[in-house]
Amino acid sequence: MSGGETVKEIKLLSEFIDEEMEDAEKYAKIALECKEKDRSAANMFADLASQELNHAHMLHQQAVRLIEAKKGKGEEPSAPMREIWEWEHKKQIDHKARIKMMLSMYQES
């Protein structure tokens, strides 16, 4: 796999991670909104949010594996690639923290 293909793959994985996080946030919000009126539905949405976070984690592991495989071949990621990944990674960590906070708020009640 060429360096260009790896970058495209990591970009695609990052987009997928963002999509999973958006869905997780949507489900966590719904769980919080309906917990008083329909606990069963709220539990389902909280579970869906957790599943989406797990999907994001699996995609993240794949992106890290691709980066490490590139390094293992003696091919260091370019500076722009590292910068973009670090920026995306920080953004995703912050997003995950917000979602986990919502799920924690849901569990407290």
Domain assignments of the chain as residue spans, ordered by start: 3-108
pLDDT band at 1 (very low <50, low <70, confident <90, very high): very low
> Measured between alpha carbons, how far is 27 from 51 in angstroms, rounded to an integer?
10
State residue 85's pLDDT score.
Answer: 87
State residue 98's pLDDT score.
Answer: 97
Instruction: Quick: pLDDT tens for 25-67.
Output: 999 999 999 999 999 999 999 999 999 999 999 999 999 999 8
Domain 3-108: CATH architecture, name and number where available: Up-down Bundle (1.20)
3-state secondary structure the chain: CCHHHHHHHHHHHHHHHHHHHHHHHHHHHHHHHHCCCCHHHHHHHHHHHHHHHHHHHHHHHHHHHHHHHHHHCCCCCCHHHHHHHHHHHHHHHHHHHHHHHHHHHHHHC
Higher pLDDT, 92 or 70: 92
Averaged pLDDT for residues 10-35: 96
Number of Cβ atoms within 10 Å of the Cβ of 22 = 14
State residue 2's pLDDT score.
Answer: 52
